[in-house]
Amino acid sequence: MINLMPYDAKKQTAAARVNVMLLRFVVILGFSAGFLIMASSATYIFLLNNKTDAEKQQVKIDLSSSPTQKRANTFRANLTISKGILDRQISYGDIITEIGKTLPTGTVLDSLSVTDSSFGTTTLLKVLSTSADNETRLKQNIEGSALFSNYKFESTASSTANGSRYPFIINISVTINKKGSAV
């Protein structure tokens, strides 16, 4: 086949083909750029919505935890108050037991009255004994106890009751300590 087209027309035809190809590339490039812009915009909007939802959830969590935190703080304060009350609580049974431990063998307490006002003040104790020598052991036991302080011997007397198992009466004064009562 012989190409009979003039040289100038051949050049124009080749240039037209290149122009068509370039136009296709530009159109494809335009669609690609538009697609990327739309995809980026959609991703940005999606992330922005997620951020807004997360902030709303955080506000809900903060609002819901605020009353819980207040209740926890109130409960903690109440526990502190309760602990303070329990630390000051005195078990009279423990005090009676400790007094019984300090009495040596052969002695008994005639009577005892312990009230809140008994702590820190001088209390007179009347101890019945089988022997007058028990006063020394009684003194040692009381001075060794954290429950008592300020031991003072008052008197020793003989009981007038005939046939009494405890013929001697030992009168002493002591101070009952509140700190020593938590035995």
Percent of the chain with pLDDT over 90: 26
Q: Where are the domains of the chain?
A: 1-89, 92-181
**Given the DSSP bridges, would you call strands 122-129 and 148-158 parallel, antiparallel or unpaired?**
unpaired
pLDDT at 179: 63
Total residue length of the chain:
183
Q: Is the pLDDT of residue 29 over 60?
A: yes
Tell whether domain 92-181 is in CATH 3.30.1360.100.
yes
pTM comes to: 0.50
Spatial distance between the Cα atoms of 113 and 129, rounded to a whole number of angstroms: 19
DSSP lists the bridge partners of residue 119 as 176
Residue 134, both tokens? 């028990």
* Cβ atoms 96, 126 nearer than 8 A: no
CA angle, 124 as apex, 144 and 179 as ends, to 5°?
45
Distance in angstroms (rounded) separating the CA atoms of residues 180 and 144: 11
pLDDT digits 0-9 by tens, 35-80: 999 999 999 999 999 999 998 888 777 666 677 778 888 899 999 9
Tens-digit pLDDT profile for residues 132-155: 788 888 888 888 888 888 888 888
- Residue 90: pLDDT band (50, 70, 90) is confident
